[in-house]
Amino acid sequence: MTGPRPAVYRDQDFPQDVVVYEVGPRDGLQAEATLVPTDVKVRFIKELVGAGLPLVEATSFVSPKWVPQLADAQEVLAELGDLIRHPVLVPNMRGLERARESGVKSIAVFASATETFAHRNLNAGRTAVCEMAAEVAAEALRSGMTVRGYVSMCFGDPWEGAVETKAVADVSRQLLDAGCYEISLGDTIGVATAAHVTALVNEHVAAGVPLNRLALHFHDTYGQGLSNVLAGLRAGITCFDASTGGIGGCPFAGSATGNLAMEELLWLLHGLGISTGVDLDAVVRAGQTITDFLGRPRSRIAMAMGH
């Protein structure tokens, strides 16, 4: 069944196609206190891929002591079959070993623009965390994997406050030099506003980073997600992260709430006449699977569509 659609008004300044990168099964679930059974996670991932999402970050190979929710990463991957091509998050060499044993082809490594969050998220300083990510990236590339890089706390940090755009671009540069094909700039606590997004993208361009090597990763804590996407589009970005159902948060950043909802991102992009290759109705149904299981409200678009 096909639900309502936005009317299409194209803005010639925007790209024809955008890549949407789904983080729900990883970023969305990692902070959930109720353990989600492996079969529910696998069903969620399969529904997301079935909806046409080209990249679904399936889980993470972090320490199960730090993130018990994703302790079943091996079990999840064992159920994925061909879908094993989708990426997983890896913090260190131990995580890479586990991912390799599971047949993973694509990973994402992560670092922090701030010192405090590097400690809180990875138990090491900003420089050490960056070196660890670079070491993991190099080894993963040697194994024939593709590697994405995340930088967290790109727009503000709950402990350190404002974050300089240059500090972020320095970390991005190190991850690119380590061989990451793309850097996703994370607004971990959702404090970014539109002109700040423009400034951060421009800082990267000035540092020689090509626009097609950047992605934007918004959490919607302060309701700025979509206006930040629009600013990103205007600045020339063509890859955006989001989580179906708007679930998510980071267990190590107290004020991080849900990611930008994939349903809302798709409504905006499709209304702008930008192709994503994704079936919005199928994403809405996948969102329902997970929000109903978690007992969370459905996304605004699911509710508007009468789901």
182 binds Mg ion (CB under 5 A): no
For residue 107, the minimal CB distance to ligand HMG (Å) is 11
For residue 217, the minimal CB distance to ligand HMG (Å) is 5
Which of 20, 25, 27, 51 binds Mg ion (CB under 5 A)? It is 27
Which tokens sit at 185?
A: 């700039």
x/- contact string, 263-292, with ligand HMG (CB under 6 A)? Answer: ------------------------------
Site residues (CB under 6 A) for ligand HMG, limited to 72-91: 91
Q: At what angle do helices 93-101 and 126-142 cross, to 10 degrees?
A: 30
134-156 b/e with 16+ CB inside 10 Å = b? bebbebbbeeebbbbbbbbbbbb
Closer by beta carbon to Mg ion, 27 or else 47: 27
Closer by beta carbon to ligand HMG, 43 or else 98: 98
106 binds ligand HMG (CB under 6 A): no
Which of 20, 21, 25, 30 binds ligand HMG (CB under 6 A)? It is 30
Task: Name the residue with the smallest CB distance to Mg ion.
Answer: 27
Which of 21, 44, 61, 267 binds ligand HMG (CB under 6 A)? It is 61
32 binds Mg ion (CB under 5 A): no
SS3 labels along the chain: CCCCCCCCCCCCCCCCECEEEECHHHHHCCCCCCCCCHHHHHHHHHHHHHCCCCEECCCECCCCCCCHHHCCHHHHHHCCHHHHHCCEECCCHHHHHHHHHCCCCEEEEEEECCHHHHHHHHCCCHHHHHHHHHHHHHHHHHCCCEEEEEEECCCCECCCECCCHHHHHHHHHHHHHCCCCEEEEEECCCCCCHHHHHHHHHHHHHCCCCHHHEEEEEECCCCCHHHHHHHHHHHCCCEEEEEHHHCCCCCCCCCCCCECEHHHHHHHHHHCCCECCCCHHHHHHHHHHHHHHHCCCCCHHHHHCCC
The phi and psi torsions of 56 (rounded to 5 degrees) equal -125, 110
220 binds Mg ion (CB under 5 A): no
Active site residue 250: yes
For residue 264, the minimal CB distance to Mg ion (Å) is 16
Q: Work out what residue 62 binds among ligand HMG, Mg ion, none; the CB cut-off runs from 5 to 8 Å by kind.
A: ligand HMG
Closer by beta carbon to ligand HMG, 219 or else 285: 219
Which of 130, 154, 180, 250 is catalytic? The answer is 250
Q: By CB under 6 A, which span of 56-64, 133-141, 160-168, 268-276 interacts with ligand HMG?
A: 56-64
x/- contact string, 128-167, with ligand HMG (CB under 6 A)? Answer: ----------------------x-x---------------
Closer by beta carbon to Mg ion, 24 or else 287: 24
Q: By CB under 5 A, which span of 24-32, 48-56, 91-99, 200-208 interacts with Mg ion?
A: 24-32
User: Which residues make up the interface to Mg ion (CB under 5 A)?
Assistant: 27
Which of the residues are catalytic?
250
